[in-house]
Amino acid sequence: MSEKITLNNRTTTDGKGFPEKAQLILGEKSMELPVVVGTENEPAVDISKLRAQTGYITLDDGYSNTGSCKSAITFIDGEKGVLRYRGVPIEELAEKSTFIETAMLLIFGGLPTQPHLAEFRRILTDNEFLHEDLRHHFEGFPPNAPPMAILSAMINAMGCFQQKWLLPEEDNHFMEAAGRLMSKVRTIAAASYKKSIGQPWIYPRYDLPYVANFLHMMFSQPYRPYEPDPAVVKALDQILILHADHEQNCSTSTVRMVGSSQANLYASVAAGVCALWGPLHGGANVAVIEMLEQIHASGEKVENVIAKVKDKDSKTRLMGFGHRVYKNFDPRAKILKAACDKVLNKLGIHDPLLDIAKQLEETALRDEYFVSRKLYPNVDFYSGIILRAIGIPANMFTVIFSIGRIPGWIANWREVHADPEARIYRPRQVYVGPTQRPYVPMEQRNR
Ligand code: SDX
């Protein structure tokens, strides 16, 4: 087993160069608030005693300035475009690692030894099937059911057949639960695709590794096996690595929020799927392709599109651009842009949408509106081009994002669940509704 990482032994650094305390003055009152500094020298003011000592809370719409936790899983420096999983740079993982090895790095805290990797692969292979009774759940969905709705529902339904693994406590129990969830989510995703195109489920193949097996279940047919091109497997494996975790994004925070009530792993991950579905988050990869297809079909000039985006009245966003944390390039977008050229060339595909995407990026990055707001391409801007080239339909893009993000969600759930000092997430609010007023009987209410 790789080195045991627990949150509690991750003390903060001594905060060289930062004050030990912050001074807060509120009218006649004042108090000192401790300063906490992370291992990457990020300072924070600890306000956990603020309300008790002053009666005040803080207000931070969208939590742009609020740390919800201390975490040892993923580090992002948004100003420098840095992303590291358990300290390992994303560029190195994308080039040298595999999705399963990266998943283990995130979940267990370190790169796996060969025996550890073999053990996890065995769990993935032994659990790639679904309980036959789950078929009935699929049969209940309409043919046009959104795959993200199916994925979230089936993760919870699957949990009913995996009750022993819902709340893994010991390490080996947790490893089995993590492997089972990762393996079966892939099978559910492929089955939801087959359902949407009216084709029968394809059983997994025990002799195929994780990504190749997923592609087999997606594209094989009972009478015609699909042999995945190694370049396609590598491209999808890299996409999953790039989506594997991203610190406290909306869906991961959701998993932590749900897990903080001591809800089980499957319920917490199913909630994460729902949060990821939104077009401002994981659903953006679908919105990007729809935007590019619309530009291509209409023949609209890129300059006109950019002008529309800049016109607030148009309420148009350049999907796949901007990020709450990255105020520099999203390193994942850089890797994906290069991968687009490589994969499409290898497959002999020329996709006009890629040309449009590159023109949009070039035009936007020369425009003061984007430059002044530090809006750069994010992970969703190019990922859909590669998924299209592989033959994956747009309504499955966010499902692919979910498969990639499962390890990050599992790691974050475990970080909350295994922390004896963890508390249930329960933010406060500033109430702005009606002040006290009496109940009015129906006959006295205005018609
Ligand atoms: C993901 O958090 C994560 O880590 C998420 C993620 C992950 O791996 O988990 O990285 C994955 O979700 C990537 C983001 C995918 N979403 C999109 O591509 C949708 C388009 N992007 C935006 O909607 C927006 O940039 C967000 C949602 C990503 C971030 O929103 P913020 O931080 O709340 O920024 P904001 O809305 O306050 O915008 C600040 C300014 C505003 O203009 P002003 O009011 O200052 O004039 O920038 C503008 C915005 O109008 N702006 C955009 C824009 N994004 C921000 N203008 C045009 N197009 C855009 N895409």
| pLDDT of residue 156 exceeding 50 | yes
Rounded to whole angstroms, the Cα distance separating 189 from 297 reads 30
pLDDT band at 16 (very low <50, low <70, confident <90, very high): low
Count of Cβ atoms closer than 10 Å to residue 262 Cβ: 12
Average pLDDT over residues 56-67: 96
| pLDDT of residue 9 exceeding 70 | no
Average pLDDT over residues 370-397: 96
Q: Are 189 and 214 in contact (CB under 8 A)?
A: yes
pTM: 0.94
Rounded to whole angstroms, the Cα distance separating 384 from 206 reads 29
Q: Is the CB of 321 under 6 A from ligand 1?
A: yes
Average pLDDT over residues 313-323: 95
Residue whose Cα lies nearest atom 28 of ligand 1: it is 323
Rounded to whole angstroms, the Cα distance separating 264 from 406 reads 14
What is the percentage of the chain residues whose pLDDT exceeds 70? 96
User: Ligand 1 pocket test: which of 373, 398, 400, 409 has the largest number of ligand atoms within 8 Å of its C-beta?
Assistant: 373
Structure tokens that stand for 319 in this block: 């999907």
Q: Is the CB of 194 under 6 A from ligand 1?
A: no
Ligand 1 atom at minimal distance to the Cα of residue 252: 9
Ligand 1 atom at minimal distance to the Cα of residue 320: 18
| pLDDT of residue 346 exceeding 60 | yes
- Which residue in the list 137, 323, 330, 417 is annotated as catalytic? 323
Q: Is the CB of 327 under 6 A from ligand 1?
A: no
323 is catalytic: yes
pLDDT band at 172 (very low <50, low <70, confident <90, very high): confident
| pLDDT of residue 141 exceeding 80 | yes
Q: What DSSP element (H or E) covers 173?
A: helix 171-196
Average pLDDT over residues 345-373: 96
Q: Is the CB of 319 under 6 A from ligand 1?
A: yes
Q: What spacing in Å lies between the alpha carbon of 61 and ligand 1's midpoint?
A: 14
Residue whose Cα lies nearest atom 1 of ligand 1: it is 281
pLDDT band at 424 (very low <50, low <70, confident <90, very high): very high
| pLDDT of residue 338 exceeding 70 | yes
| pLDDT of residue 411 exceeding 80 | yes
Q: What spacing in Å lies between the alpha carbon of 280 and ligand 1's midpoint?
A: 7
Indicate the residue type of 164: K
Segment 162-171, tens digit of pLDDT? 888 888 888 8
The pLDDT, as a whole number, for residue 7 is: 37
DSSP strand E in 150-229: where? none
Q: Is the CB of 248 under 6 A from ligand 1?
A: no
What is the DSSP track for 109-139?
A: SSPPPHHHHHHHHHHHHHT-S--TTHHHHHH
| pLDDT of residue 5 exceeding 90 | no
Contacts with 87 (C-beta within 8 Å, 6 or more apart), sequence order: 75
Average pLDDT in the chain = 93
Q: Is the CB of 324 under 6 A from ligand 1?
A: yes
137 is catalytic: no
| pLDDT of residue 209 exceeding 90 | yes
Sign of CA dihedral 246, 250, 252, 257: positive
Q: Is the CB of 296 under 6 A from ligand 1?
A: no
Average pLDDT over residues 201-208: 95
Rounded to whole angstroms, the Cα distance separating 32 from 140 reads 58
Ligand 1 atom at minimal distance to the Cα of residue 373: 47
What's the Rg (C-alpha) of the chain?
Answer: 24
Phi, psi of 162 (to 5 degrees): -125, 35
Q: Where are the alpha helices (DSSP H) in 34-98?
A: 50-54, 90-96
Residue with tokens 């053990």: 119
